[in-house]
Amino acid sequence: MKMILLDRVTKTYQRNPHAALERISLHVDPKEFVIVVGSSGAGKSTLLKLLTREEKPTAGKIIVGGIDYDKLRDREIPLLRRKIGVVFQDFKLLPGKTVFENVAFALEIVGMSNREINHTVPRVLDIVGLQGKEKRMPMELSGGERQRVAIARAVVRQPKILIADEPTGNLDPKHAWDVIRVLEKINRYGTTVLLTTHNQDIVNRLKRRVITVKDGKIVSDRANAEYKL
């Protein structure tokens, strides 16, 4: 089974005649680590939004984690969201909550007991290297630490896929690499990772599969690829 399958997917937005994505086909295996690159406006965000079901395709087939999006009902979308964790460039943490509470929140909303939450949150904070920082507020953390809180929150329900959309965009190189190492660790634990980045150094040193999107099309898809602007 493929973890992600797109078959000739086209996305055209309203009031924009130019297709954001045009007949894109893509297969991603379970446990793969895939980097998506492309200049601004190429279609990367649209691709990610189709996967999270924030947007629906105009044409084509999408199957993620065995879920055929054509058969997906609205009430099943929360189930899909549990299979896909997402982190963003701007972290999107709850500023009035501690590190622990930010991560715990993702479990509270699915009805997990306090006992289980108290057991689970420290384990995931440990994985992202934030043990001992449970009581800090987001403002009291570095950007790299904030992003690692966001990653902890995204993976605490053990999604099959982690989508990281420019997670290092606001970080200096040292903190960027801390975040990338955490993504690699989560991938080693068995989660499929989809990363978008403009950071050439990260792409070149990770030596992973690189998919290049340009003008709504996949123009290259290579293993161990380097990235030239």
Residue 177: Cβ within 10 Å count = 17
**One of 5, 38, 145, 182 touching ligand ADP (CB under 6 A):** 38
Q: Which of the ranges 13-21, 82-90, 125-133, 197-205 carries the binding residues for ligand ADP, by CB under 6 A?
A: 13-21
Q: Decide: is 197 part of the binding site for ligand ADP (CB under 6 A).
A: no
β-strand partners of 85 = 162
CA distance 218 to 223: 14
Rounded to 5 degrees, φ, ψ at 58 are: -80, -35
Q: Decide: is 224 part of the binding site for ligand ADP (CB under 6 A).
A: no
Binding mask 43-82 toward ligand ADP (x if CB under 6 A, else -) reads xxxx------------------------------------
Interior/surface letters 4-38, b for 16+ CB within 10 angstroms, e for the rest: bbbeebebbeeeeeebbbbebebebeeebbbbbbb
Q: Which is nearer to ligand ADP, 30 or 169 (CB)?
A: 169
| Min CB(73)–ligand ADP separation in Å | 24
Q: Which of the ranges 15-23, 63-71, 134-142, 143-151 carries the binding residues for ligand ADP, by CB under 6 A?
A: 15-23
Quick check: 212 and 218 in contact, CB under 8 A? yes
Q: Which is nearer to ligand ADP, 2 or 214 (CB)?
A: 214
Residues in the chain: 229
Q: Decide: is 40 part of the binding site for ligand ADP (CB under 6 A).
A: yes
CA 13, distance to chain mean position in Å, is 22
Structural tokens at position 113: 């007991």
Q: Which of the ranges 37-45, 75-83, 136-144, 174-182 carries the binding residues for ligand ADP, by CB under 6 A?
A: 37-45
Q: At what angle do helices 99-108 and 114-127 cross, to 10 degrees?
A: 130
Q: Which of the ranges 41-49, 63-71, 145-153, 203-211 carries the binding residues for ligand ADP, by CB under 6 A?
A: 41-49
Q: List interacting residues with ligand ADP (CB under 6 A).
A: 13, 16, 18, 20, 38, 40-46
